[in-house]
Structure 1
Amino acid sequence: MKIYSNRIDGDARIDGDPELFLDPSDLLEPGEIPPPLELAELETTGAAHEAAITELEGIGVRARLLIADEYAGIANVLRDAAASPDPWVGPDPTQDHAWLDPQGRSTAVVRAERRNIAVRAAALELAVRLGISESMVRTRAAHADTLRERCPQIWEAFRAGRVNERNASSAAQQAATLPARSTDAWAKFDEQLAGSAQTLAPGKFRTRARVVRDRVHPEHIDERHKRAKDERNTWFQPEPDGMASFTVFTTADKVMLVQRYAEAHARHLRAQDGEERTLAQLRADVVLDLITRGMSIRTETSAWRARASVAITVPVMTLLGHDDEPATLDGYGPIDTDTARRLAGGASSWVRILTHPVTGTVLDVDRTAYRVPKALQRWLGVRDQVCTGPGCLRSARDCDIDHRLDWQYGGKTADTNLSPLCERHHVIKTKSKWVLYRDEATGAKWWVSPTALKVPVDPPPF
């Protein structure tokens, strides 16, 4: 029976007995996959827990191997799409000597666009087939390419199952921010992290990778900080039970200032008589109070009201208090009844849409908001709610209204021929071999990918 150990140096002893040494041939080599123990062997040893640990160790290695293979495969498909766009976007028109671009673009610009669209179309195909998001497909391809080029030692260990996915991703993220032609910095980064990528837990490795990246970066941090400031942004993430997360990415000094302000005020409030909220609750309330206080000042201008307009769909019986069917907040999903009634109570920055309590048919579309879209656009937003691209959750109000059959080919401006598509999926539909079909009898819609995969249009999420 082989004994498997993660130790790579020194002697291995059984149960700490100084007299019982293992033969080096009985140790698992780095990257070697532990095989499952036979039943007869389990009966001999009687160590079911040891067998389970050994089995899980083997499963872990095999899982890492498969994940690394997936990264490599995704990168290969997208790389091939860029090199050979025709299967994804059709024949190259620039090959025709009589061809002239209607927009007056050069051959080089058109071919570059074809490569870009081909990669987008291939990424969407992989996202559907693998059951992951397009952004994850692009991220995994980018990480594989970065590790292959800039961190060959870490890449080799990842492909051998010795580095977990989170450490590989952390290394790729940091290596990608090193200057494009600084091969010396790449080599130092790879050399200093190749060992710890195989041994450190993801949290510690992420910190170490960031420190090593700063240490080997040839550019001064002041210059890097100036560029990083341009990337500041915010993100909204829906959460269960009528909750949501709001993330701000900006300079550390401002974030620390807000955090310390929230902490100090939360502790002050916590010390007051009768205060029952926890520190965590108070910190959240203080930060939101700061933001909403600023919003209350800005709502005095009509322009702000237009930007803040949000739709809420409320079953009419819920609004009247005769039912508790949840309302739907545009861009989020179901919300609690009290909040729905409060928002539908007359605030001019909210668009109220009343639905039939049985059929769900739209009964009334509120037109008191500052900026009112056309009735057809409003109906499409109610019907589809989000982009009709495969897997996309971008709100319909932030999408283009696309003619399924192009206007120039006789497509009508009617709800049967219109659907919301975000900019990314609109471009893919228009310029790649992805095609959107509709059954005129049933109204069912589906996509067909460049590789002939049929993908039903996702139903509304709420």
Structure 2
Amino acid sequence: MPDALHPDDPADPAAVSAAEWAEAEWADPDWPSLDGWRVASAAGGSRAVFAELQATLDAAEGAQLEANRMQAVQLDAYRQAFALADTHPELYVHPDAHHTESRGGIPVAELAARSVAAELSMRLQLPAATIRNRAHHAAVAHRYLPRLWARFRDGIASYAEVRAALDTLDGVPLNDPHRTPADAARHAAALAEFDDTLAGLAGTIPLPRFRQRARRLRTRLEPPETAAARHQRAHTTRRLILEPAPDGMAWISLYVSAVDAARIHARVHATATHQSGQPGETRTLDQVRADTATDWLTGHGTPTAVRTEILITIPAFTLTRTTPPDGSYTPAELDGHGPIDDDTARHLFAHAPTFLRLITDPITAAPLTLDRTRYRTTTAQRRWLTHHYGTCTRPGCTRPAHQSDLDHLHPWAAGGPTNTTNLAPTCRTDHTLKHHTKFRITRTPDGTITWHTPTGHTATTTPQHLHPPQHSTEHPPEPQRYPEPAPF
């Protein structure tokens, strides 16, 4: 064999005999694929590059397996934390509460569960509802799908597959004490088959096919007539979801029946298709569909157009199209969403009657400090605190501030004043925790809110905006009023 033979030799490797390949000095017994190298070499590659590619692909696969294993460990920790709090509610609930069945009308066990969810939410910066859902998934899978759960712990199954299996089982009575012994045995056998089959499929087929197989297996767990009942249960959870997106955009999702979804899409599509064919129409069909749905849902151009008040914060320099003396730039913000572009902000301020205009100059001098003169907060206080914090002030909670209570950090009954330095937006669930559990809340002069958990963990929420200039509460200046529409 010529001495010049080398992995990077441009000669056709297919022309070299097997014996010559075996005798080559660069031949390696652990080389995974001679055919693969031949293909790579013929394309101008090399053995080193081919090996690097294989190693990279193996690393990606290994990382996915490790990620699955670590997520299983985390979810199991959620499950165990909730189990501990359920067994020992005194870890979170005040001693005078856990000796009774409920506190403020809320069962002690539920207060303990809310406390665990809140603490994990603060530690992980995840919504408490997400924590509770994942803990529930772990508990149900651990008990009723042990083989699939074991595949998850081993990294073979993904959390998405575990969720797909659990979603399929939603509504199936897994532990019905009223079953006859024969029915209980049949149900146990069907559930074991469900678990075994999906455990074997996990990690081997795409997720949509996995869901499809799970739905087929479910039919053996319930009689056919229960399908209508399942649909009715699912139909009660229909809802609309708002999800902020980058660049001043957002997603609106509707969870409705498949029939209603098809009807909605068909009407929007038909109307948009007709509109897109009109002379002078330059929008794409997707854009026309989105605009059509928006106009219908907001009632644009009709007597029933939306009148909901939405807070939009607009710097005065944005309205006047001037640059601040220090050259800084502060974008306008839409409450619950975040920054929006200047052109949209100016248009909303000038023409949208459904938006509350809050100029950071500010345009009003309504007093924000009431001291001990009254318990109830004012509209001005609520608007300012909504602007100041944006969301519930419990770290990790994303409930919008305008949907939250205004909590007296130092209780009114104990001498706490009703002013903005003693008030914080707190969603109803977290407000309850503050009063009936061992969580403590402190506030610094700059408005930073700190929650202290019974286990010693602390987490903070900082204000989104600084305080406006303070005005005298004895002789406040008359509020400056802008005509409708504003002349900008």
TM-score between the two structures when normalised by the length of structure 2: 0.74
Choose which of 424, 427, 431 in structure 2 pairs with 1:422.
Answer: 427
Question: Post-superposition shift, 1:295?
Answer: 8.2
CA change 1:378–1:74 in 2 (3 A) is same
For 1:204-261, what per-residue CA distance to the aligned partner results, in whole angstroms no more than 9, with x for missing partners?
3234334433553335222222222221110111111111111111121111011112
Question: Post-superposition shift, 1:388?
Answer: 0.6
Secondary structure in structure 2 of the residue aligned to 1:195 = helix
2:126–2:397: 8 Å Cα contact kept in structure 1?
no
For 1:271-297, what per-residue CA distance to the aligned partner results, in whole angstroms no more than 9, with x for missing partners?
334332222212212222222337833
Cα distance in 2 for partners of 1:94, 1:140 equals: 26
Cα distance in 1 for partners of 2:54, 2:48 equals: 12
Alignment match, 2:350: 345
Alignment match, 2:158: 164
Alignment match, 2:314: 314
Greater RCO structure (CA 8 Å; 6+ sep)? 2
Matched, 1:108 2:101: yes
Secondary structure in structure 2 of the residue aligned to 1:296 = coil
For 1:308-346, what per-residue CA distance to the aligned partner results, in whole angstroms no more than 9, with x for missing partners?
111111111211232574211112111222222222125
CA change 1:60–1:382 in 2 (3 A) is closer
2:127–2:398: 8 Å Cα contact kept in structure 1?
no
Matched, 1:333 2:326: no
Alignment match, 1:445: 449
Query: Please, which runs of 5 or more residues in structure 1 have no aligned partner?
Result: 1-16, 18-25, 27-42, 96-106, 357-361, 367-371
Secondary structure in structure 1 of the residue aligned to 2:442 = strand
Secondary structure in structure 1 of the residue aligned to 2:397 = coil
Alignment match, 2:481: none
1:309–1:350: 8 Å Cα contact kept in structure 2?
yes
Alignment match, 1:389: 394
CA change 1:66–1:84 in 2 (3 A) is same
Q: Which has the larger radius of gyration?
A: 2
TM-score between the two structures when normalised by the length of structure 1: 0.77
Alignment match, 2:179: none
Choose which of 253, 257, 268 in structure 1 pairs with 2:259.
Answer: 253
What is the RMSD computed on CA atoms of the aligned residues?
Answer: 3.0
Matched residue type, 1:165:
Y
For 1:53-93, what per-residue CA distance to the aligned partner results, in whole angstroms no more than 9, with x for missing partners?
33333333222211111111111101111111111123254
1:354–1:365: 8 Å Cα contact kept in structure 2?
no
Residue pairs, 1:181-260, within 5 angstroms: 181=175, 183-184=187-188, 186-214=191-219, 216-218=221-223, 219-260=225-266
Question: Post-superposition shift, 1:202?
Answer: 2.2
Secondary structure in structure 1 of the residue aligned to 2:107 = helix
Alignment match, 1:38: none
Matched residue type, 2:230:
R
Matched, 1:378 2:383: yes
For 1:378-400, what per-residue CA distance to the aligned partner results, in whole angstroms no more than 9, with x for missing partners?
22222222211112222222110
Cα distance in 2 for partners of 1:55, 1:332 equals: 38
CA change 1:57–1:383 in 2 (3 A) is closer
Matched residue type, 1:451:
T
Matched, 1:135 2:134: no
Matched residue type, 1:262:
V
Alignment match, 2:291: 285
Cα distance in 1 for partners of 2:208, 2:310 equals: 38
Question: Post-superposition shift, 1:44?
Answer: 10
Secondary structure in structure 2 of the residue aligned to 1:298 = coil
1:178–1:186: 8 Å Cα contact kept in structure 2?
no
Cα distance in 1 for partners of 2:441, 2:285 equals: 51
Which 10-residue stretch deviates more, 213-222 or 449-458? 213-222
Cα distance in 1 for partners of 2:106, 2:409 equals: 26
Which 10-residue stretch deviates more, 45-54 or 421-430? 45-54
Query: Please, which runs of 5 or more residues in structure 2 have no aligned partner?
Result: 1-17, 19-29, 31-46, 177-186, 324-328, 367-376, 467-488
2:97–2:108: 8 Å Cα contact kept in structure 1?
no
Cα distance in 2 for partners of 1:374, 1:261 equals: 41
CA change 1:51–1:298 in 2 (3 A) is same
Matched length: 395
CA change 1:268–1:342 in 2 (3 A) is same
Matched, 1:86 2:90: yes
Cα distance in 1 for partners of 2:348, 2:59 equals: 55
Alignment match, 1:401: 406
CA change 1:341–1:161 in 2 (3 A) is same
CA change 1:364–1:44 in 2 (3 A) is closer
Aligned-residue sequence identity (percent) comes to 34
